[in-house]
Amino acid sequence: MDGLIERFAKVEPASVSVTSRRPQVVIIGAGFGGLTAAMRLQRTDADVMVIDRRNYHLFQPLLYQVATAALSPADIAAPIRGILARQANASVVLGAVTGIDAEARAVLIGARRIRYDQLIIATGARESYFGHDEWAAVTSGLKKIEDATTMRRRILIAFERAEDSDDEDERRRLLTFVIIGGGPTGVELAGALAELANAALARDFRRIDPATARIVLIEAGPRLLPSFPPRLSDKAAKALTRLGVELRLGTKVSRCDDCGAVLNGERIDSRTLIWAAGVAASPAADWLGIAPGRGGRVPVDPDLTVPGHPEIFVVGDTAQVEGPHGPLPGVAPVAKQEGAYVARVIAARLAGKPAPPPFRYRDLGNLATIGRKEAVVDFGRLKLTGRLAWLVWGLAHIYFLIGFRNRMAVAVDWLWSYLTYQRGARLITGEDMRMSPPASKP
Ligand SMILES: Cc1cc2nc3c(=O)[nH]c(=O)nc-3n(C[C@H](O)[C@H](O)[C@H](O)COP(=O)(O)OP(=O)(O)OC[C@H]3O[C@@H](n4cnc5c(N)ncnc54)[C@H](O)[C@@H]3O)c2cc1C
């Protein structure tokens, strides 16, 4: 055992732990980046500790399906302990990290200190309101399961209240849904919401026609899906228009309140504002006491370590990693590849082998779906649209769901939803029956 620690020490002299029998690799965050790193460290002679404030790994790309009542929360989440149950060198701690003592090499969970030899920070991102934090109180975001079930509740309550209302203006406000942000999340939400209104809810009400719901998608840039080629942005725009979604491109929102939004001087009255516009990194830069980069991210060296701290790695949405065309985007494949790379670097250090070459991202392409018939897929030279793209999108998402049970559950739910237009998860849950979000978010 001492030999192993010496081998470790040869590569990173400062990284030897005096308290641990084996080198201790601590990973904060069991999202795409952190979990991939943990699993790839399975065969190393190190203890791997995964800390997360939730007890489950969340497949965020499908949150919008929970928000629009197509899937249930458990379909897109899997317990972290279950995923790592067979990995003998891995342990899990449920706790919210509050800081890092980089000098003493300890992660802080309130007053509790957890020592590390190597640290991987993979704490993802949170919503950003471009300097308008007060908009958090009047819009629904989509980062957590709770956000998705809250959004589902608000959407379904809006239809219920509209059915009950005798006030024509209020009814119109209730049946108007404004989505701010025309990236993949906004586009997918708009498509799914249109289908919920046009098809799944079609026969459920007596006094209102859900298909008359107005869905407005607002994007500040000149086109939807800015990370896709313009041709696919056009296809997405046409598919959404066919579903009845109103597009407002090149339009900035200047005000959000609990009765609607103001854009370019025009007011749209709505009881449901959905925020899909911006994210900022988790506060890891604060924890490390360093200047944050773009979007609060931590700028890292080419081996994904923090400058001056070769024992601290940052991956995924929290890391600012330069690619050939600027910083890499905050998407799951980037986080997964970075997690896998960092595991390779640590395994090489442990084995006393030379470090792998600097990280390089392999772009596997971009996918976004529009309702249950269309999608756009950009695999570089191969670009797909329509039903075939939808099939590719569906298979890719099922394949990437981590727990096998979830894969089966999602596949069955999707197939059922596809064939019948039924929404098995159309439940209003929770006590909060208000239309507007509470004044402060957790
Ligand atoms: C609605 C939505 C749709 C998306 N759609 C797509 C898509 O279609 N395709 C795509 O590629 N990407 C998509 N993304 C982006 C993708 O989900 C992220 O890029 C990816 O999750 C980043 O992985 P990560 O490991 O950096 O962070 P995450 O997967 O966000 O994981 C971070 C983990 O850290 C934990 N954590 C955070 N703070 C703390 C703390 N203080 N203490 C303890 N634990 C903490 C969290 O609980 C979480 O488990 C989407 C994101 C959202 C929100």
What's the gap in Å between 162 CA and the centre of ligand 1? 34
Residue with tokens 């980062």: 143
What's the gap in Å between 404 CA and the centre of ligand 1? 20
Segment 279-329, tens digit of pLDDT: 899 999 999 999 999 999 999 999 999 999 999 999 999 999 999 888 999
Question: Residue 16 and residue 383: Cα distance in Å, rounded?
Answer: 49
361 token code pair: 């991202």
User: Atom 27 of ligand 1 has which residue's CA nearest to it?
Assistant: 124
CA end-to-end span of the chain, whole Å? 44
Segment 181-201, tens digit of pLDDT: 999 999 999 999 999 999 888
Establish whether residue 28 lines the binding site of ligand 1, counting it when its CB lies within 6 angstroms of any ligand atom: yes
User: Atom 53 of ligand 1 has which residue's CA nearest to it?
Assistant: 143
Segment 16-55, tens digit of pLDDT: 444 447 999 999 999 999 999 999 999 999 999 999 999 9
Angle at 241 between CA 237 and CA 243, to 5 degrees: 120
User: What is the b/e burial string over 163-198, where b = at least 16 CB atoms within 10 angstroms of the residue's CB?
Assistant: bebeeeebbbbbbbbbbbbbbbbbbbbbbbbbbbbb
Positive or negative, the CA dihedral 297, 236, 152, 36 is: negative
Q: How much is the pLDDT for 337?
A: 97
Q: How much is the pLDDT for 431?
A: 66
Segment 233-278, tens digit of pLDDT: 999 999 999 999 999 999 999 999 999 999 988 999 999 999 999 8
Establish whether residue 210 lines the binding site of ligand 1, counting it when its CB lies within 6 angstroms of any ligand atom: no
Q: Taking 70 as the threshold, does the pLDDT of residue 222 lie above it?
A: yes
What's the gap in Å between 317 CA and the centre of ligand 1? 7
Half-sphere exposure of 293 (CA within 13 A, CB side): 17
Segment 344-353, tens digit of pLDDT: 999 999 999 9
Residue with tokens 């942005």: 233
Give mean pLDDT, residues 362-387.
91
Q: How much is the pLDDT for 414?
A: 77
Question: Residue 435 and residue 273: Cα distance in Å, rounded?
Answer: 10
Return the number of other C-beta atoms located less than 10 Å from residue 120's C-beta: 28
List the 99-101 sheet strands across, edge first: 99-101, 106-109, 112-115
The reported pTM is 0.90
Segment 140-180, tens digit of pLDDT: 999 999 999 999 999 999 999 999 999 999 999 999 999 99
Q: How much is the pLDDT for 435?
A: 58
Which mutation among 27, 108, 119, 123 tests ligand 1's pocket best, with the greatest number of atoms within 8 A of CB? 123
Establish whether residue 181 lines the binding site of ligand 1, counting it when its CB lies within 6 angstroms of any ligand atom: no
CB within 8 Å of 324: residues ≥ 6 apart: none
438 falls in which pLDDT band (50, 70, 90)? very low
Give mean pLDDT, residues 50-74.
93
List active site positions: 188
What's the gap in Å between 158 CA and the centre of ligand 1? 28
Q: How much is the pLDDT for 190?
A: 98
Establish whether residue 330 lines the binding site of ligand 1, counting it when its CB lies within 6 angstroms of any ligand atom: yes
Q: How much is the pLDDT for 278?
A: 84
Q: How much is the pLDDT for 9?
A: 37
User: Atom 19 of ligand 1 has which residue's CA nearest to it?
Assistant: 331
Q: How much is the pLDDT for 325?
A: 84
Q: Which residues pair with 366 in a beta bridge?
A: 378
